Amino acid sequence: MLDIKFIRENPEIVKQNIKNKYQDEKLPLVDDVIALDKKIRELKQEGETLRASRNELSKKIGQLMREKKIDEANEIKNTVNKNNQRIAEIDPLLEELQADLTKKMLVIPNIIDKSVPIGKNDTENVENEKFGEPVVPNYEIPYHADIIARFNGLDKEASGRTSGNGFYYLVGDIARLHSAMLSYARDFMINKGFTYCIPPFMIHSDVVNGVMSFSEMENMMYKIEGEDLYLIGTSEHSMIGRFKNQIIKENELPLTLTSYSPCFRKEVGAHGIEERGIYRVHQFEKQEMIVICKPEDSMEWYNKMWSFTVEFFRSMDVPVRTLECCSGDLADLKVKSCDIEAWSPRQKKYFEVGSCSTLGDAQARRLGIRTRNEAGTYLVHTLNNTVLATPRGLIAVIENNYKEDGSVTIPVALRPYMGGMEVIKPKN
């Protein structure tokens, strides 16, 4: 959510930003918000004037009563009563207008960074840099579900009976490899100086509204029936919500946190949820990194964060690239974002395994997260990035370490978490 003062003083900038995001249907909101803001400020001023007048008149009434000037006192009482009636009209009207203003402001997208390429959708995202040589071996690499099946590592038939499409059982060495990657991701980030956290996996609606747009919520979040609770789609949601309405000491910034959680997503409108593999699913596990910092430090942290994910995947012998998200592909709260994509030697192309974003002060403004220095309080900046989301990360490691005999070499970095195993071999 933007600062109302910024919208008031820079309407054309806000409108151009909306155009850059190809959301022209939102352009009328800018003028609506400015008009509502003006009306609210006028009503507030009127209310303050009436209250000040009431206080002065009340003093006069007391003085006139002491002087036995009953008629004059009664006349002033009538004026006070009229003031009170008008105040009683203003207060609920202000509440109604403020709610309407907030609702409209929540829909206006955040101002994107000047470096973001302008484009309509993800087809116009721009490749930044490749890390590692993408290799296509001279033997066939099967579909990931077929590879895993040879290890007796996947049971989607059973998960279909228990849970339906988009769920899965991982079994044996594959399940162990999955857990090894998450443990390694945890320790990788701890070694980078991040504090490890396990957050709540459900959050209240006010936290949901603080960390994401309404359209994202509708497409992603599972609501607990009969309760004000939602299952998290990523631990960023509850990790940022942890600081709701808090003032963080400036000397404690930046807060660098890494969190584990299961993640739950409806994936409304997503393609592939019916597929037999585990690329797009309703439930997965994730190691996330979150940074809360001073505004002037956010872009430096953004670049550090995506580089950590690149380093993490390269340490497991997975070639990756970074892809700059264009304006039309950015969620409304994001200032800048890039995807980290892993090489698929089977498909001979890259696929997304993580995303790094800076949201400026958008989440902090919605949730009231501030810091304080000698000059007073101000909003912090928030950033998030995927260290590992699996099973997608698992697919990348399996494909890039698959051998012609059907075995999978365990990357050196993962071997301590696999009991020293150097290779896993198919069962059938």
Residue 56 confidence (pLDDT): 76
Q: Are residues 149 and 88 in the same domain?
A: no
Q: Residue 196 belongs to a domain with what CATH number?
A: 3.30.930.10
pLDDT at 59: 73
The pLDDT score that the predictor gives to residue 246 is 97
The whole-number pLDDT of residue 268 equals 60
126-131 and 349-358 strand pairing: unpaired
The torsion angles phi and psi of 199, rounded to 5 degrees, stand at -95, 175
Q: What is the mean pLDDT of residues 359-371?
A: 96
Q: Tell me: do 126 and 210 sit in the same domain.
A: yes
The last residue of one of the domains, among 105, 135, 152, is 105
User: Are the beta carbons of 331 and 211 closer than 8 angstroms?
Assistant: no
Q: What is the pLDDT of residue 184?
A: 98
Question: Domain check: are 101 and 135 in the same one?
Answer: no
Lowest model confidence (mean pLDDT) among 54-68, 225-239, 326-340, 412-426: 54-68
Q: Let me know whether 163 and 96 are in one domain.
A: no
> Is position 254 within any domain?
yes
| Pair 282, 309 in one domain | yes
For residue 269, the model assigns a pLDDT of 57
Do both 230 and 367 map to the same domain? Answer: yes
Q: Average of pLDDT values for 173-194?
A: 98
In this structure, is residue 100 part of a structural domain? yes
| 152 and 50 belong to one structural domain | no
Domain match, 80 and 151 both: no
Greater confidence, 73 or 374?
A: 374
**Residue 107 or 70, more confident:** 107
The pLDDT of residue 324 is 97
Mean pLDDT of 97-124: 95
The stretch 413-428 carries a mean pLDDT of 94
Is residue 246 located within the same domain as residue 286? Answer: yes
pLDDT in tens, 38-89: 999 999 998 888 888 877 777 777 777 777 777 777 777 788 788 888 888 8
What is the model's pLDDT at position 304? 98
Report, as an integer, the average pLDDT of 11-21.
Answer: 97
Same domain, 10 and 148: no
| 383 found inside a domain | yes
Side chain identity, residue 363: Q
C-beta separation of 215 from 265 below 8 A: no
Residue 110 lies in a domain: no
Tens digit of each residue's pLDDT (9 = 90 or more) over 262-317: 999 987 655 665 577 899 899 999 999 999 999 999 999 999 999 999 999 999 99
Task: Please indicate, yes or no, if residue 113 is contained in any of the structural domains.
Answer: no
CATH number at residue 11: 1.10.287.40
pTM of the model: 0.90
- Predicted confidence at residue 271, as pLDDT, reads 61
Q: Domain limits at 183?
A: 122-424
Q: Which of 46, 71, 105 represents a domain boundary (last residue)?
A: 105
Q: CA 161, CA 22: separation in Å to the nearest integer?
A: 42
Over residues 250-273, the pLDDT tens digits come to 999 999 999 999 999 987 655 665
Confirm whether 112 is domain-assigned. Answer: no
Judge if 75 and 157 occupy the same domain: no
Query: Residue 55: its pLDDT value, please?
Result: 76
Torsion angle in degrees (nearest 10) through CA of 222, 224, 227, 229: -50
Q: Which residues contact 85 (CB under 8 A, 6 or more apart)?
A: none
Domain count, the chain: 2
> Is 72 within the bounds of a domain?
yes
Q: How confident is the model over 233-257, as a mean pLDDT?
A: 96
Same domain for 372 and 234: yes
pLDDT at 156: 92
Mean pLDDT for all residues in the chain: 93
Q: Is residue 111 part of a domain?
A: no
pLDDT digits (tens, 9 = 90+) for 390-407: 999 999 999 999 999 999
Secondary element (H or E) of residue 320:
strand 320-324
Q: What is the pLDDT of residue 73?
A: 77
Strands 370-373 and 376-379: antiparallel
Check if the beta carbon of residue 288 is closer than 8 Å to that of residue 78: no
